[in-house]
């Protein structure tokens, strides 16, 4: 199941390619509502969704390894648990970034140049290891993990609502690491400076991942 889940970002990209232009035409003809100005909002949601899916897969792998005491066993090997967690962090970051870039090309909706999109995808990709680590820490078991995933994915997409809130009040959503890559995407799509939001997103997202990794490490240490 987890293997097939990794194909969801690609499947979602194909759905967007097939349905979004038709939906825009239908709304314009039926209600005279132009959906195209909201394309940056839709695609910023996809930016976080792809990374969130990858994070969910790796999170369940970590959760399975935690319950099987595989992570505890690694503590007594030369390969330290911190090095292993670093590997587990790097993997979803890489896969999340690559799947996002591939997915954006498949949607056919090119709002940003590839260089800008690559930088945004890397920062947005931090949500993948963050979700994975929080899931492995917070969920008491794999069954409860599905409920935790729903909450985490909801928080990951909550900044979508901030799109409709004027600045500077919108920055209140900045407590969520997912807000900053989305804010950078909106600014870049509007032709505005996005570097500040991107830097804040990289710093805040990196700190959140580090805090989540330390928290999981301490939980494993307490359980021995």
72-117 pLDDT, tens per residue? Answer: 777 777 777 777 878 877 877 787 788 888 888 899 888 899 899 9
Question: Is the omega angle on the peptide bond into residue 168 within 30 degrees of 0, that is, cis?
Answer: yes
Q: Global pTM?
A: 0.88
Mean pLDDT of 167-177: 92
pLDDT of residue 174: 93
The confidence band for 206, taking pLDDT boundaries of 50, 70 and 90, is: very high
Q: Quote the CA–CA distance of 159 and 154 in Å, as a whole number.
A: 9
For residue range 113-148, what is the model confidence (pLDDT) as tens digits?
989 999 999 999 898 889 888 988 888 888 888 888
Residue 69: which region, alpha, beta or left (left: phi > 0; alpha: psi -120 to 50)? left
Q: How far apart are the first and last CA of the chain?
A: 30
Torsion sign (Cα): 85, 86, 89, 91: negative
Scan for tokens 């909106």, then name that residue. Answer: 186
Tell me, what's the pLDDT at 65? 81
pLDDT band, residue 223 (cuts 50/70/90):
low
Question: What is the domain partition of the chain in residue ranges?
Answer: 2-10+38-223
State the average pLDDT over residues 11-19: 90
Helix axes 195-223, 127-138, angle to 10 degrees: 30
CA distance 212 to 222: 16
> Of 51, 13, 72, which Cα lies nearest the Cα of 132?
51
Q: DSSP labels for 43-100?
A: HHHHHHHHHHHHHHHHHHHHHHHHHTTHHHHHTTSSS-HHHHHHHHHHHHHHHHHHHH
Confidence of residue 1 (pLDDT cuts 50, 70, 90): low
No. of H helices and E strands in the chain? 11, 0
Stronger pLDDT, 198 or 30, i.e. the higher one: 198
């Amino acid at each position: 199941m987890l293997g097939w889940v990794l194909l969801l970002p690609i499947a979602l990209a194909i759905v967007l390619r097939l349905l979004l232009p038709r939906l825009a035409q239908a709304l314009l003809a039926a209600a005279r509502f132009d959906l195209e100005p909201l394309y940056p909002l839709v695609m910023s949601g996809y930016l976080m969704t792809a990374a969130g899916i990858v994070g969910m897969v790796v999170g369940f792998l970590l959760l399975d390894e935690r319950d099987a005491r595989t992570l505890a066993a690694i503590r007594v090997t030369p390969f330290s648990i911190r090095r292993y967690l670093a590997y587990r962090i790097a993997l979803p970051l890489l896969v999340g970034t690559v799947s996002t870039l591939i997915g954006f090309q498949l949607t056919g909706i090119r709002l940003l140049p590839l260089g800008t999109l690559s930088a945004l995808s890397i920062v947005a990709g931090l949500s993948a290891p963050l979700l994975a680590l929080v899931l492995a820490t917070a969920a008491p078991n794999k069954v409860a993990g599905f409920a935790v995933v729903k909450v985490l994915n909801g928080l990951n997409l909550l900044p979508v609502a901030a799109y409709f809130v004027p600045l500077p009040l919108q920055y209140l959503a900045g407590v969520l690491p997912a807000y900053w890559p989305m804010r950078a995407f909106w600014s870049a799509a509007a032709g505005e400076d996005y570097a500040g939001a991107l830097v804040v997103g990289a710093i805040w997202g990196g700190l959140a991942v580090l805090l989540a990794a330390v928290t999981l490490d301490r939980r494993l240490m307490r359980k021995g």
